[in-house]
Amino acid sequence: MPDLQERRLGRTEMRPQAVGMGGAWWGSGPESETINAIERAVELGINFFDTYPGEHEGRWGKALSGGKREKVYLQGKVSSAVSNERTSDHSAAKTRSSLEASLVALRTDYLDSVLIHGYDQPEQLEGPEAILDPLAPGNALDELIKMRDEGLLRHIGIGARNAEVINRATATGEIEIVLTYLEYSLLTQAAERDFFPQCRARDVGVLLASPHGMGLLTGEEPDSGEEQRKVPGEKPRAHAMWQWCRDRDVNIRHLAIQFCMAAPVDGIVLPGPATQRQLEEAYEAGTADIPEAIWADFKVEFGVGI
């Protein structure tokens, strides 16, 4: 079985395999399935794992026990929802308690990287709402710097889609990793224009999540359901790509993953499998041999390719 390529993740100098494993969708099935899939990922050489607070971190802790934790890069996030609004409490106290709880659940003394998550407001919040701004003095970023100095984490990053937020965060000089989703794929390359240049200039590593466009590029025929609401305006283009690949017996999952692997920035691709089968499909996509002629024809048809 072919190996995944190794990549440099910006100035962190972490060197994970080119395809990592996101944890957003784990937990819907039995615990044993999650643990088996994580163990399978380690067997395949996948060594960058992205977790989320409260999303069955205990399963990851069990799966990575017995010496496997030392074989991988383990990433966590800090985010605490405020009431029922789509906002997060990024105060120092919430940041510390969130990370400390993750460390216990994950059965580790430190995390290789921690992302500020749940903040995508471009404006600088002030007054009583300043608690929501992780970059404001005394909030999440400052607390993560303290915790890094204490040895509880090694690298600090941010997860966001908004380019202004990403560029503002990386300009602090403390953000070494950016996780973004739905901003770079076969369907859109907005990130290449909006924040890849700043990431390259600041030597920031980039994690490209949702390479399948929230389900539009998995190989299933795109529909107008939840995925379409999350990726407005992309269904006709996704359907045309799906039909083109189907007519030529080409696996669009392979194209979607490898296009992101070839992004002009230091980083890796971070699909979010929900089952062991989907995990193995992501690995297969990252190691598949795609003829240059396929990419050439695809680029002629859709204006995007490698």
Q: What percent of the chain has pLDDT over 70?
A: 88
Mean pLDDT of the 29-40 span: 88
87 pLDDT higher than 80: no
Mean pLDDT of the 47-73 span: 91
What pLDDT is attached to residue 68? Answer: 92
What pLDDT is attached to residue 122? Answer: 59
228 pLDDT higher than 60: no
Mean pLDDT of the 32-56 span: 90
Nearest one of 23, 29, 40, 8 to 74, comparing CA atoms: 23
Contact, 52 vs 27, CB < 8 A?
no
pLDDT digits (tens, 9 = 90+) for 184-204: 999 999 999 999 999 999 999
263 pLDDT higher than 90: yes
What pLDDT is attached to residue 174? Answer: 98
| Start-to-end Cα distance in the chain | 23
Mean pLDDT of the 146-168 span: 96
Mean pLDDT of the 108-115 span: 97
Mean pLDDT of the chain: 89
**226: confidence class by pLDDT, cuts 50, 70, 90:** very low
Most confident among 49-53, 124-128, 143-147 (mean pLDDT):
143-147
Report how far apart, in Å, the C-alpha atoms of 44 and of each of 4, 38, 250, 276, 286 are: 9, 10, 24, 12, 12
Longest alpha-carbon distance in the chain: 57
Class of domain 10-219+254-291: alpha beta
Least confident piece of the model among 64-73, 84-93, 278-287 = 84-93
Mean pLDDT of the 136-145 span: 95
What pLDDT is attached to residue 227? Answer: 47
What pLDDT is attached to residue 119? Answer: 83
Least confident piece of the model among 82-86, 145-149, 248-252, 298-302 = 82-86
pTM of the model: 0.90
Nearest one of 280, 233, 231 to 257, comparing CA atoms: 280
Mean pLDDT of the 31-55 span: 90
207 pLDDT higher than 80: yes
What pLDDT is attached to residue 232? Answer: 53
What pLDDT is attached to residue 16? Answer: 97
* Distance in angstroms (rounded) separating the CA atoms of residues 117 and 131: 14
298 pLDDT higher than 60: yes
What pLDDT is attached to residue 1? Answer: 60
What pLDDT is attached to residue 140? Answer: 95
